[in-house]
């Protein structure tokens, strides 16, 4: 077993890199980051599909302490975000702390020593006071089991594991799913393919993306006058924060967005049949609202078709649907998103008294402000249950969570505690109030989405203002936590 550490961070995306920087800035050097991949970057390292980009403006989708004056576009593409995270890891000397190729298999808490034992799949062991999980919600691709996959003679892959060795030029391509990834890669490959068939279970609301390239002058101003970029970040944040009203029951706000989405589609899609297929049958905002300036234009082309019949399974040549048709393809691409409600899976996390986290979460994942769970002392989650957003930047939420972790460490130091654990009643009452608040939002208006687990519980989204979230967790409320002496 490795020497005793203060912390083990799991994952080297925005959460893991940012948390490492905060620890080092506080003078805490005894920690490691365990990363299953071969570089930092998280989902921005892994999602290399054509057209991959962020749908939050670049100046806001970055650390507040490390602005980047070199963004080329208002909404950064994948390669630039990946490069930005690598830059942060180099500048703040995070790389020496990362153990690459180390996928965590299990973590077990020992109440007697008040420490965690962390084991990786390659057999390494780490003894740590704290475990900080920064695995995110979008790291495990969702692969629907349609049946007969082994029969298909063509190529098939998930967008999050894009096979760049497959040449799409002149190919008949089938795309399963209409999530955020498909919205981006469908237009990006349309010029190459001979035909594209989109298998759509549910139509998406798509708004115009207010994207454009930054001019050299703007980049120079951002570099020489950082206050301008800081002002831009603040203005974007404030505007995005107002969108919470639309999700929390202000129908007039959502009506405006719905009208914009309908007009956006009608301008691009002239075919009445396709327009009917691309018209959602649920309230706007109930599922994730998507941004694109070329998705509808791509599907409006003659070589694009939309299938809404249920897929029955794979055949040797392609896919069979419930209407009895067989659709032949050379390549099939899954645009089916991620297993977003399976937090920390497939790791096995065992807390006090041998309680398994999956068992504690048998009715759906929940935590105190998405970060701490009763029965699991000294375990912190970044981007945990109910901290995803429909209206603002997750990086803002992560920085708020960094603050809370550091406040907890300060409280432990001041009280001489060896362990900190949220009280059971506090966690229960917090989540009861949270779910009650969610029931008043558009997310609970009858549609199914990746925000919910199989029982219909929304385990992903934060239903309020992000600044209130930050205020609530800025300091540690002594009555909310139990502190155990060393």
pLDDT per position as a tens digit, 13-22 = 999 999 999 9
Residues 318 and 198 in one domain: yes
What's the confidence (pLDDT) of residue 74? 97
Residues 183 and 250 in one domain: yes
**The total number of structural domains that make up the chain:** 2
pLDDT in tens, 284-300: 988 899 999 999 999 99
Is pLDDT of 138 > 90? no
Which residue shows structure tokens 């706007």?
Answer: 284
Specify if 222 maps to a domain.
no
Residues 319 and 267 in one domain: yes
Residues 280 and 346 in one domain: no
Q: For residues 368 and 453, which has the higher predicted lDDT (pLDDT)? A: 368
What's the confidence (pLDDT) of residue 1? 52
Burial 138-169 (b: 16+ CB within 10 A, else e): bbebbbeebeeeeebebbbbbbbebeeeeebe
Residues 455 and 403 in one domain: yes
C-alpha–C-alpha distance, residues 198 and 127, integer Å? 49
Specify if 175 maps to a domain.
yes
What's the confidence (pLDDT) of residue 442? 87
Mean pLDDT across 249-259 = 79
Asked which of 334, 356, 371 is the last residue of a domain, the reply is 334
C-alpha–C-alpha distance, residues 56 and 59, integer Å? 9
Is pLDDT of 383 > 90? yes
Specify if 321 maps to a domain.
yes
Q: Which helix (H) or strand (E) holds 127?
A: strand 125-133
Residues 322 and 453 in one domain: no
Asked which of 318, 334, 350 is the last residue of a domain, the reply is 334
CATH of the domain at 279: 3.50.50.60
Residues 398 and 481 in one domain: yes
Burial 74-88 (b: 16+ CB within 10 A, else e): bbbbbebbbbbbbeb
Residues 348 and 434 in one domain: yes
Residues 274 and 316 in one domain: yes
Residues 99 and 198 in one domain: no
Specify if 423 maps to a domain.
yes
Mean pLDDT across 36-56 = 96
**For residue 10, what are its two tokens?**
């799991």
Specify if 300 maps to a domain.
yes
Specify if 49 maps to a domain.
no
Band of pLDDT at residue 448, cut at 50, 70 and 90: confident
Q: For residues 388 and 247, which has the higher predicted lDDT (pLDDT)? A: 388
**For residue 305, what are its two tokens?**
């078709």
Q: Find all residues with CB under 8 Å of 289, minimum gap 6, and list them.
A: 204, 205, 206, 207, 257, 261, 390
Residues 324 and 353 in one domain: no
Band of pLDDT at residue 344, cut at 50, 70 and 90: confident
Is pLDDT of 174 > 60? yes
Range of the structural domain that residue 388 is part of? 5-40+94-140+339-485
Residues 323 and 352 in one domain: no
Specify if 80 maps to a domain.
no
């Amino acid at each position: 077993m490795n020497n005793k550490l203060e912390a083990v961070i799991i994952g080297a995306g925005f959460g893991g890199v940012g948390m490492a920087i905060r620890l080092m800035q506080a003078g805490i050097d005894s920690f490691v980051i365990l990363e299953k991949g071969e570089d930092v970057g998280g989902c921005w390292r892994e999602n290399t599909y054509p057209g991959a980009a962020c749908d939050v403006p670049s100046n806001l989708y970055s650390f507040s302490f490390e602005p980047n004056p070199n963004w080329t576009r208002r909404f950064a593409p994948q390669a630039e975000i990946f490069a930005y995270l690598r830059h942060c890891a180099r500048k703040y000397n995070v790389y020496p702390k990362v153990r690459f190729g180390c996928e965590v298999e299990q973590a077990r808490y020992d109440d007697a020593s008040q420490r965690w034992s962390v084991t990786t799949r390659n057999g390494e062991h780490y003894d740590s006071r704290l475990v900080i999980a920064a695995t995110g919600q979008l790291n495990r691709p969702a692969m629907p089991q349609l049946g007969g996959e082994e029969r298909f003679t063509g190529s098939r892959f998930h967008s999050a594991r894009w096979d760049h060795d497959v040449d799409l030029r002149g190919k008949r391509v089938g795309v399963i799913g209409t999530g955020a990834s498909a919205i981006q890669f469908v237009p990006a490959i349309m010029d190459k393919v001979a035909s594209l068939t989109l298998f759509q279970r549910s139509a998406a609301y798509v708004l115009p993306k207010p994207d454009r390239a930054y001019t050299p002058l703007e980049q120079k101003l951002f570099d020489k006058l950082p206050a301008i970029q800081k002002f831009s970040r603040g203005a974007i944040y404030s505007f995005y924060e107002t969108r919470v009203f639309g999700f929390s029951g202000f129908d007039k706000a959502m009506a405006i967005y719905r009208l914009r989405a309908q007009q956006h589609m009608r301008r691009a899609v002239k075919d009445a049949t396709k327009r009917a297929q691309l018209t959602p049958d649920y309230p706007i905002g109930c599922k994730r609202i998507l941004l694109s300036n070329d998705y509808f234009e791509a599907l409006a082309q003659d070589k694009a078709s939309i299938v809404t019949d249920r897929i029955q399974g794979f055949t040797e040549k392609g896919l069979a649907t419930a209407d009895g048709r067989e659709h032949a393809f050379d390549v099939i691409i899954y645009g089916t998103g991620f297993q977003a409600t399976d937090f920390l899976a497939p790791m096995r996390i065992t807390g006090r008294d041998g309680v398994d986290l999956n068992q504690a979460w048998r009715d759906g994942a929940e935590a105190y402000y998405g970060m701490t769970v009763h029965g699991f002392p000294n375990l912190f989650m970044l981007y945990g249950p109910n901290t995803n957003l429909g209206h603002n930047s997750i990086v803002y939420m992560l920085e708020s969570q960094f603050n809370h972790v550091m406040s907890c460490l300060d409280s432990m130091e001041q009280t001489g505690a060896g362990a900190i654990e949220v009280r059971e009643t506090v966690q229960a009452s917090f989540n009861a109030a949270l779910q009650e608040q969610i029931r008043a939002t558009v997310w609970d208006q009858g549609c199914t989405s990746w925000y919910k687990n199989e029982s219909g519980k929304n385990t992903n989204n934060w239903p309020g203002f992000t600044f209130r979230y930050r205020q609530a967790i800025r300091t540690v409320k002594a009555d909310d936590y139990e502190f155990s002496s060393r």
